[in-house]
Amino acid sequence: MMNEKSVKNYLRKLGLSLVEINVYLSLLEKGDQTILELSRTTRIERTRLYRDIYGMISKGLVIEKILGNRKLLGISEIDSLERLAHKKVEDLSYVSENLNPFIKAVEEVKLSSLPSKVRSYSGREGIKQVLWNELKAVGELRTFSYRFLDEIVGKKFFRSWTKELDYRGIEVKDLRSFQFLKSEAEVKGRNIMPFKNDNIRYLTPDVIDFEIEMDIYNDTVVIFNWHKGDVYAVEIEDSKFAFMQRSFFDMYWNIAKPVSVSGWLEMMEEYRRVS
C-alpha cells in the first residue's frame, strides 16, 4: 500500500510539478478550497498558484465548483489520473519507438560545421523583413510560437502577411506554448486573426514551455527573442541545422494536442476565468 511519499513520487513520475503535487494532496486531504485557502494550506503564493491550477484544470485533474458567491477548486474523479497515466505511456512509447531514427537524424548533423549564412535583424522594419523572407517557404512553415508578432509589426502588416501565406499555399504548423496562451489571454479585447492554412497544436507546460519563437522553413531557421518590449531576430541559413531543428519540431508536433481556432478561443476564456 502506498504511503504519502510513494503517492508524491508517483505523481512526480506522471509529470506533475512540485506545486501541482502539493495542490492535489491538499485538495485530496482537506477537500474543496478557494485559491486563498489553497495558498494558505500549501504555503504557496496565489500568483504562483494560478498558472499551475490552470494546467491542472486543462489536464482534467482539478475542477471548478461554484457555491453561492464562492469559487471552489476540487479534485476530479480518479479516472482523470488514469487518463493522464495512459497518455504518459503513449508518449513514452512514441519516444521509445522513434529513438533510433531520431538519433540517426542527429548524428547526420555535424554540429562543428558553421552555418553558411547568419543574418541579424532588429526593430519593426527588421522583423517585417524577416517575415517577408519567410514567404519563400516551399510547402510549409514550422513555428514554435511564443507571441503574435503583430504587436511588433502592426496588425495591418501582419494581416497582409497571413493573406500572402494563404495565397502562396504555404501550410503553417503552429506549435503553441502556455506562454503564447497566457500572452494572448492577458490582452483585453484580444481578437486573434486566424488564417486558412494555420494548423494549431498546443503543448502543455509539463511537456515544454518556451519563451522564444523559432520558425523553420526550407534550409533556414529564424530565432526571435523578446527583450524589454522589443524583438530581435537571427536568421540562420544552413541545411544541417535546419534538418536537426525540423526533427525536434516534428517530435513535439506528434505529441502536441490539435486545437481548432474556436477551441483556442475557449482555452483563452478558460485561462481568463481561472486567473
**Segment 112-154, tens digit of pLDDT:** 455 568 899 988 899 999 999 999 999 899 999 888 888 888 8
Does the reported pTM lie above 0.85?
no
DSSP E strand stretches across the chain = 62-67, 70-75, 117-122, 140-145, 171-176, 198-202, 213-217, 220-227, 230-237, 257-259
Alpha-carbon distance of 138 to 86, in angstroms, equals 37
The third-level CATH classification (topology) of the domain covering 98-274 is Endonuclease; Chain A (3.30.870)
Alpha-carbon distance of 53 to 24, in angstroms, equals 10
| pLDDT of 245 over the 50 cut | yes
The pLDDT of residue 112 is 47
CB 205 within 8 A of CB 83: no
Alpha-carbon distance of 116 to 163, in angstroms, equals 31
| pLDDT of 264 over the 70 cut | yes
**Segment 156-179, tens digit of pLDDT:** 898 899 889 988 999 999 998 888
In the predicted model, what is the mean pLDDT of the chain?
83
Alpha-carbon distance of 74 to 61, in angstroms, equals 9
Nearest C-alpha neighbor of 65 from the set 40, 25, 32, 38: 32
Listed in sequence order, the residues at least 6 apart from 56 whose beta carbon sits closer than 8 Å to its beta carbon are: 20, 23, 24, 62
Cell 503513449 belongs to residue = 90
The predicted model gives 37-54 an average pLDDT of: 86
Q: Name the class of domain 4-84.
A: mainly alpha
Domains 4-84 and 98-274 share a fold: no
**Segment 183-241, tens digit of pLDDT:** 777 766 655 656 677 888 998 888 887 888 999 999 999 999 987 667 889 999 999 99
The pLDDT-based confidence of 84 (bands split at 50, 70, 90) is confident
Q: Parse the chain into domains and list their residue ranges.
A: 4-84, 98-274
Nearest C-alpha neighbor of 231 from the set 117, 133, 126, 118: 126
